[in-house]
Amino acid sequence: MVVGILLGNFVPQTGPALQKGQFVGVSVPIAIGLLIMMYPILCKVRFESLYELLSHKGMWKQIIFSIFMNWVIAPFLMVLVWTGLAGGDGEYCAILVAINSILQMVLFAPLAVFFIRVIGHEDQALHISYTVVATSVGVFLGIPLAAAVLTRSIFRAMAGPEWAIKSYTRSFQLSEWQLHWWFTS
C-alpha cells in the first residue's frame, strides 16, 4: 500500500497507465488480484457434500443467520480471510462464502444502483451502469467459483475423494500471497 501511495503521489502517470488495460471495466492488476484472491478460497468448498449438508434443518438456520450477518450487518466483511486468520472452521466458512458469492452475483448490481442512484441521488453526477456492475460481479465472482467447482471435480474424479479432502484442500490454505492480493484489491 505504501508503494502504491508513493507511486500515486510522485509518479502521476502510474494511475492512467494502470487504467489503460482493463478487463470488464476493471484495471488489469486489480482484476488479476481479485481472481487470485477468490479462486483458492472457493477451492476449499466441498461442493459434492452440499446436498447432504443442505438437507439438515440446523444448517439452514446457520445459513440464514450468516446471510443476515453478511448482507445486513457487515456486507463488506472478508469472511474467509478473517476466519483463516482467526483459526476458525474453514470448511464451514467456505460453504457460507460460496452461498454469499452467489447472492452477491444476484444482488450486488441492483444494490449498487439503488445506493448510488436512489439513496445517493447521483443520477447526473455519476453514471453507474447496471450492466457494467453486473458483468464485473459475475466475472470476478463467477469465474473463480466456476473454476473452483471444475478444478475440485476434476481432481476428485482423477485422484479420489480422500486425496481431494487431505491434499487438495490443504494446498489452498491462507497464504501470504492471498493476503497480499487482498490488501492490494
Short-list 93, 94, 100, CA closest to 76: 100
Structure confidence by residue, pLDDT tens digits, 5-23: 788 788 888 878 877 888 7
| Alpha-carbon distances, residue 30 vs 9, 15, 37, 154 (angstroms) | 19, 12, 10, 28
Domain of residue 78, residue span: 30-184
The total number of structural domains that make up the chain: 1
- What is the per-residue pLDDT for 95? 76
110 in any annotated domain: yes
Question: Would residue 2 count as lying in a domain?
Answer: no
- Please check whether residue 15 lies inside any domain of the structure: no
- The pLDDT, as a whole number, for residue 173 is 57
Instruction: Identify whether 17 is part of a domain.
Output: no
The SS3 assignment for 77 reads coil
What integer best gives the mean pLDDT of the chain? 74
pLDDT digits (tens, 9 = 90+) for 90-120: 777 777 777 777 787 788 778 777 777 777 6
Residue 19 counted as domain residue: no
Cα–Cα dist 65/68, whole Å: 5
Residue 16 lies in a domain: no
Q: pLDDT below 70 — which residues of the chain?
A: 1, 70-81, 120-128, 164-185
Q: What integer pLDDT is reported at residue 59 of this predicted model?
A: 78
pLDDT of residue 76: 44
Residue 7, in any domain of the structure:
no
Q: Is residue 42 part of a domain?
A: yes
Would you state the cell numbers that stand for residue 40, as one nine-digit string? 483458492
* pLDDT for the residue 123: 57
